[in-house]
Amino acid sequence: MRVIVTVVEKITSEAHIDIPDGLNQSTIKQHIVDRYNTGAISTDMNIYQVEFESINAQIVQENSSPNLHKHWR
C-alpha cells in the first residue's frame, strides 16, 4: 500500500538586517523586497516559529485511482 502524505505548515522566519538611514516607509519596503528577491535575505533567515496547519493522507492502490482521501485539521 502506498500513502501520499501532505503536511501544510506555516513557517515564520525572521532576519535582522541593516538598511540605510533616512529612508521613508515605501523605500524601506522596496529595499527589503529587493534584498529578498535577490536572495540576500534568505541566508540571514532563521526559523522563528512553525505552526501546523493540516495534514492530508491519500491511500493509493497500484494501477487505480485513489480510493481514500482523509484530511485532518
Give tens-digit pLDDT for 9-28.
999 888 888 888 999 999 99
pLDDT of residue 29: 94
Residue 73 belongs to what H/E stretch?
none
pLDDT of residue 56: 92
Q: What is the mean pLDDT of residues 4-9?
A: 92
Give tens-digit pLDDT for 30-46.
999 999 999 888 777 88
Mind giving me the DSSP string for 13-70? EE------TT--HHHHHHHHHHHHHTTTTTTT-EEEEEEEEEEEEEEE-TTS---EEE
**Cα angle 47, 56, 4; round to 5:** 100
Q: Domain residues for 12?
A: 2-72
pLDDT of residue 61: 81
How many domains are there within the chain?
Answer: 1
